[in-house]
A and B are shown apart, each in its own frame.
Chain A
Amino acid sequence: MKKTKIFAAIGGVGLAVLSIFLIAADHIDSPSVAGTTTDIADLYGFEGSSPDNTVLIATVQGPLTPGDVTTNATFDENVLLEFNIDNTGDFKEDLVIQAIKRGDSMYFFGPVAPEQQGLNSIVEVSGARHSVKISTSGEVETTDEDGMKFFAGPRRDAFFFDFNRFNKVVSGEVAPEGFLPADQASDFFENLNVLAVAVELPNSMLGTAPDHVGGLVGIDGLPPAYNVWVSAKRKQ
């Protein structure tokens, strides 16, 4: 009886977990966006080369294999990439920095308070506008204006992960061993690329950071922090 129960548990749990695969930070994360031009791969946010600056980087359309796939990958003029910054602690965007392609360039608007918050946006043309020519694999183009830096183009994927092993771990296929030791593990993304959009700007443009959300759940002592997320929105 106990044995039957365990097999039933394996069956039930195995099926439930088998569908949990394809993790890669946010690369190819859901059926409706995987392989499309709105598919976000990663979001990074960190202190810039000057401590007075913040860097925001979003990567999309990954993973791209080297060669033609990377060379031919392009940003979509119908897709608005949006860095959202909550500086009041309510997890609603108080400021946005938008990026959208036109011609051979990426145009940036903001940081600016959006006319509307939430799932739908317009391009906030009242915000400060900058642009940078989209880089190629071999030639890096950056813009440095008004204290802000901008970049858009293909880059090596910085994300590292033994993706193939993970899929076996979560499916139960390699239970109970789990992940591999370092001499056998393999970084799936080591030789892959993404399209990246990068902005570096003075912290002063982002307003005063709110109390860290950790304080709400008993994690005390963390410094004030903006809440940041990236969204990809398609023209309707």
Chain B
Amino acid sequence: MKIYKLSMIFVAVCASLLFVQCSDDDDNVIDVATCNDGVQNGDEEGVDCGGSACEPCAEALDFSGNYSQEDIMGRPGINTVFSGSGEVKNNFNTTTVTGRADFTSIFQNTLETYHDVYAVALGADPADVNYVPNILGLDAPTFATVLAEFDALQVAPNAQTTYFDPSTGVALTGRTLNDDVIDISLILMFGGGDINNLNFDGTEGSPLLISDSVGFGDRQIGDFPYLETPNN
């Protein structure tokens, strides 16, 4: 009986050792698939390269380093249309989207300045020709806030994409290749609030400020990547 017990213990100890060993082996198997953990493990021939799972060491690529922002873009034309000076444009490009509170008043001033230029040219008092709340119902401070502090492209999944579709009233669900973002931006800046009777439409002696009169032209939209072959 005693001999039997001892043999059982021996078997149990051996089995546990085997188990531990197996456990270690399992860890190694998992490590083989980790080609970006910064250490040589599994059957890797170098750090994160070679072996059965990683790319050959000769082709291992260096992605190290820190990268610092030089340009940023959400909606089209925001920095270039509203910032005004080169210095402000440079500053805009090196801010985060959440760091733009200082740009709101600059953008609002630019919006009013555009109106003043045309007021003067028309012989009117600049004080009498001002931005009018647009078709989205935004007054000047709110419009400037949206432009400066919420400057991202809103992209709605599983929904019609349009920068603005006057026929449906759907707006800001993304930007397709052929959305006329310039005309939409001009309408929001100069058109006022009545979609059926926009200001600055070029009629009856009014300046044409709500459309640049060009469209997508003969461009085509194909399969992925959707953009056309370059012009020759």
A residues bordering B, Cβ < 8 Å? Answer: 6, 9-10, 13-14, 16-17, 19-20, 22-26, 29-33, 36, 38-40, 42-49, 51-52, 54-58, 64, 66-67, 70, 79-80, 84, 86, 90-92, 100, 102-103, 107, 117-123, 125-126, 129, 137-138, 140, 142, 149, 151, 154-156, 158-162, 165-166, 169-170, 172, 175-182, 184-187, 190-193, 196, 198, 200, 203, 206, 209, 212-214, 216-219, 222-236
> What string of 1s and 0s marks CB contacts (under 8 Å) between B66-78 and chain A?
1111111110110
State A232–B20 Cα separation when bound (angstroms). 49
B binding-site residues for A, Cβ under 8 Å = 36, 61, 63-74, 76-77, 79-81, 83-86, 89-90, 92-98, 110, 113-114, 116-118, 120-123, 126, 136-138, 142, 145-146, 149-161, 170-178, 180-182, 200, 202, 207-209, 211-217, 219, 223-232
Question: Which of B71, B120, B200, B202: most chain A Cβ within 10 A?
Answer: B71
Complex Cα spacing A158 to B159, Å: 22
CA–CA, A45 and B110, complex, Å: 27
Q: Are B160 and A32 in contact (CB under 8 A)?
A: no
By secondary structure, the B interface counts as loop
Query: CB-nearest residue of chain B relative to A163?
Result: B212
Set A17, A160, A216, A233: member contacting B217, Cβ < 8 A: A160
Q: For B224, list chain A residues within 8 Å (CB).
A: 48-49, 55, 142, 149, 151, 198, 200
- B118–A17 touching, CB < 8 Å: no
Cross-chain contact A24 with B68 (CB below 8 angstroms)? no
Contact of A119 among B64, B96, B146, B208 (CB under 8 A): B96
Q: From residue A34, how far is it (CB to closest CB) to chain B in Å?
A: 9
A149 nearest CB neighbor, chain B only? B224
Contacts A193-B230, A217-B138, A233-B70 known; A22 to B223 CB distance under 8 Å? Answer: no
**Most chain A CB inside 10 Å of its own CB: which residue of B94, B137, B227:** B227
Q: Which of B89, B120, B172, B214 contacts A222 (CB 8 A)?
A: B172
Q: Is the CB of B231 within 8 A of A229?
A: no
Tell me the minimal C-beta distance from B2 to chain A in angstroms.
56
The answer for the CA separation of A176 and B119 in the assembled complex, in Å, is: 8
Chain A residues within 8 Å of B96, by CB: 92, 117-119
Other-chain residue from B123, B158, B172, B229 in contact with A214 (beta carbon distance below 8 A): B172
Complex Cα spacing A184 to B213, Å? 9
A235 interface neighbour in B67, B149, B226, Cβ under 8 Å? B67
Closest to A46 in B: B161
Given contacts A32-B70, A161-B182, contact A156 B81 (CB under 8 A): no
Partner of B154, one of A138, A175, A178, A226: A226
Contact check: which of B77, B80, B153, B182 meets A228 at CB < 8 Å?
B153
A162 to chain B, nearest CB (A): 4
With A19-B85, A40-B71, A176-B207 as given contacts, are A162 and B213 in contact (CB-CB < 8 Å)?
yes
Contact A156 B219 (CB under 8 A): yes
A and B contact pairs by CB, cutoff 8 A, 14 listed: A26-B71, A29-B79, A55-B226, A137-B229, A155-B229, A160-B219, A161-B182, A162-B212, A178-B209, A180-B208, A184-B213, A187-B215, A187-B217, A217-B142
Partner of A26, one of B73, B157, B226, B229: B73
Question: B161's closest neighbor in chain A, by CB?
Answer: A46
Q: Which residues of B contact A23 (CB under 8 A)?
A: 77, 80-81
Assess whether A91 is in contact with B152, with CB atoms less than 8 Å apart: yes
Contact B138 A100 (CB under 8 A): no
Contact A67 B232 (CB under 8 A): yes
A67-B232, A137-B230 given as contacts; is B214 within 8 A of A40 (CB)? no
Q: Is the CB of A226 within 8 A of B155?
A: yes
A43 touches B207 (CB 8 A): no
Select A223's contact among B86, B149, B159, B176, beta carbons within 8 Å.
B159
Residues of A within 8 A of B77 (CB): 23-26
